[in-house]
């Protein structure tokens, strides 16, 4: 059963004091306060005249995520009443709340490498999607592994990218059948590439922070992969 915004108890700590933004940056998170702090710092380092806001949807964290969002003056959304649901539900929540004409959706552990990332992702035509290249990094922020790269990854992974809000909802947003992490963004990419032109922006780079893997990661990812394979058969 897919959850709707009105089905979930939520609490806001923000508003739109400066009017409606042109860009809304949407981030779903769960118990990654220290990582999120670095991510938000990199976003706030952008130099841009484009009005934007940052929406962080917290899917039931028990750390100090709310303090981090307050520190960075984000629109903070707390989703309670059930605990962790996987990234799809909170990402959709953030996109429903978003007022920006363009959505930049990204993982909570991806740093903006340059201070013009927002400007460049916002340079977007209707019917197109901009996807940045996202690299794994070591503790010295040395690029070593390519996650999202046009030539190497024919299926777009939506770790850091931009899409018009209306276009996002025209394909139904994130599929909320995915209640564990791992393939919800891959499936979203499959839907996107069937409807829109993808701009592989390999010169726009996001840096994926290393923060270890939970012991139960395999148990979380396997159901997501099975569901992904089933849904891909339906698309054929």
* pLDDT single digits (tens) 181-232: 878 888 998 899 899 999 988 888 888 887 666 666 667 788 888 999 999 9
Query: Domain range spanning residue 227?
Result: 5-235
| Mean local confidence (pLDDT), 125-140 | 79
146 versus 193: which is more confidently predicted? 193
Weakest-pLDDT range from 6-20, 127-141, 175-189 = 6-20
Q: Kindly report, residue by residue over 22-41, the tens digit of the pLDDT.
A: 999 999 998 899 999 999 99
C-alpha 14/C-alpha 186 separation (Å) is 31
Q: How many domains does the chain have?
A: 1
| % residues pLDDT > 70 (the chain) | 77
Whole-number pLDDT of residue 223 = 87
Weakest-pLDDT range from 159-168, 172-181, 202-211 = 202-211
- What's the pLDDT band for 2 if we cut at 50, 70, 90? very low
63 versus 146: which is more confidently predicted? 63
| Mean local confidence (pLDDT), 109-128 | 94
- Backbone region of residue 149 per phi and psi (left: phi > 0; alpha: psi in -120 to 50; beta: other values): beta
Q: Is residue 145 scored above 50 in pLDDT?
A: no
The CATH number of residue 195's host domain is 3.90.550.10
- What's the pLDDT band for 154 if we cut at 50, 70, 90? low
Average pLDDT across the chain, whole number: 82
């Amino acid at each position: 059963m897919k959850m709707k915004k009105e089905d979930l108890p939520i609490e806001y700590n923000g508003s739109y004091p400066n009017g409606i933004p042109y860009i809304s940056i949407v981030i779903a998170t769960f118990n990654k306060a220290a990582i999120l702090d670095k991510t938000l710092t990199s976003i706030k380092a952008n130099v841009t005249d484009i009005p934007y806001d940052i929406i962080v949807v917290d899917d039931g964290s028990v750390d100090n995520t709310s303090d981090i969002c307050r520190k960075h003056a984000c629109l903070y959304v707390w989703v309670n009443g059930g605990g962790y649901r996987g990234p799809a539900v909170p990402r959709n929540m953030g996109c429903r709340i978003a007022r920006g004409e363009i959505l930049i959706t990204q993982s909570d552990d991806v740093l903006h490498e340059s201070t013009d990332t927002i400007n460049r992702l916002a340079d977007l035509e209707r019917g197109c999607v901009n996807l940045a290249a996202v690299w794994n990094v070591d503790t010295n922020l040395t690029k070593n592994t390519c996650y999202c790269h046009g030539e190497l990854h024919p299926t777009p992974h939506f770790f850091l990218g931009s899409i018009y809000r209306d276009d996002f909802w025209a394909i139904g947003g994130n599929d909320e059948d995915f209640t564990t992490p791992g393939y919800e963004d891959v499936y979203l990419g499959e839907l996107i590439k069937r409807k829109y032109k993808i701009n592989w922006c390999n010169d726009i780079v996001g840096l994926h922070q290393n923060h270890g893997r939970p012991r139960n990661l395999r148990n979380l990812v396997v159901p997501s992969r099975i569901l992904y394979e089933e849904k891909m058969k339906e698309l054929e």
